[in-house]
Amino acid sequence: MSKVIEKYALAAVVFCVVSSGSFGSSALAAERTGEAPSINVGYADLDLNTADGVEALYARLRTAARRVCSQHEGRALINAFEWQACYDQALSTAVSKVKSESLSALHRVANTRQRLS
């Protein structure tokens, strides 16, 4: 399993580029150029000083990570491992790019809950 994660951690360094711009997809352009797919997630409309704002952004980032990792979806167990590795990497990268302690804390709590369930 670690070989799968290592292999796809590099291939699936799927960055959810976070900006204060609009919410749009550049996955098609990425496919054409050979780059990892990415999605811009805007959050200029959110107040990250509030719990509601942080939770809304985290929901957007989770949705974006699911979208960019959809290439790994499938019924085979290996696809589930690939998808999870891609999703985890994309979400963690996006959270770190925001540089919000509140968002990072929410992400840590969500990861802990996921591992415990």
pLDDT at 35 over 60: yes
Once rounded to an integer, what is the mean pLDDT over residues 12-35? 43
Which residue, among 62, 65, 64, has the nearest Cα to 83 in the 3D structure? Answer: 65
CA 11/CA 13 separation, integer angstroms:
6
pLDDT at 23 over 70: no
Compute the mean pLDDT over every residue in the chain, rounded to the nearest whole number.
75
CB 26 within 8 A of CB 8: no
- The pLDDT tens digits of the residues spanning 60-115 come to 999 999 999 887 666 677 788 888 899 999 999 999 999 999 999 999 999 887 77
User: What is the pTM (predicted TM-score) of this model?
Assistant: 0.69
Q: How confident is the model at residue 38 (pLDDT cuts 50, 70, 90)?
A: confident
DSSP-derived secondary structure for 45-82? TS-TTSHHHHHHHHHHHHHHHHHHTGGG-SSSHHHHHH
For the chain, give the number of residues: 117
> 19-23, 53-57, 109-113: which range is least confident on average?
19-23
Cα separation values, 109 from 72, 95, 115, Å? 25, 13, 10
CB 89 within 8 A of CB 107: no
pLDDT of residue 112: 86
CB 48 within 8 A of CB 100: yes
pLDDT of residue 34: 57
42: helix, strand or coil: strand
